[in-house]
Amino acid sequence: MTIPKDSAILWYSRNCYLCFMEDHVYTKQTCTENIQAVRDALYVLNGKWKLLVIIALTEGATRFTEIEKSIGEITPKVLSKELRELELNEFIERKVLNTVPVQIHYELTSHSDSLKEVINSLAIWGKQHREYIQNKRKLMQSNKSV
């Protein structure tokens, strides 16, 4: 069985768990910790909107309607929920301005900087994956026409 070098896989064989990542073989405990860390990250960033909200806020403090327009297809109810959850996890800060009418701005916290590499890596991977799938579909279509 060939296991990709860059993957995090919990593999069961002869009652022994191994995790393969970056050419290292880990113990069951280390592998479990790595998988738990991935679960934690996915729990905090779950759904299709949270990273898009963070990306929308990279230009600076932004009002609710500006975020909504920037993202596009998100409903106000869902955006409100995502903003609350991102605030709870300290990725964004909600600021109420003492103006008439009251204005509310959202901005990224310094903690959100920890996601820059993750977002950049996802963007690179997303482009590569899209190209891969498009090429596979073209190949399948060309094989059908032959």
Which pLDDT score, from 0 to 100, does residue 25 have? 63
Which pLDDT score, from 0 to 100, does residue 28 have? 72
Q: How far apart are CA 94 and CA 64, in angstroms?
A: 10
Tell me the CATH number for domain 50-112: 1.10.10.10
Domain assignments of the chain as residue spans, ordered by start = 1-44, 50-112
Q: How far apart are CA 31 and CA 19, in angstroms?
A: 5
Q: What is the pLDDT of residues 70-98, one digit of tens each?
A: 999 999 999 999 999 999 999 999 999 99
Positions in the chain short of pLDDT 70 = 1-26, 146
Q: How far apart are CA 11 and CA 20, in angstroms?
A: 8
Which pLDDT score, from 0 to 100, does residue 3 have? 45
Which pLDDT score, from 0 to 100, does residue 70 have? 93
Q: How far apart are CA 60 and CA 95, in angstroms?
A: 12
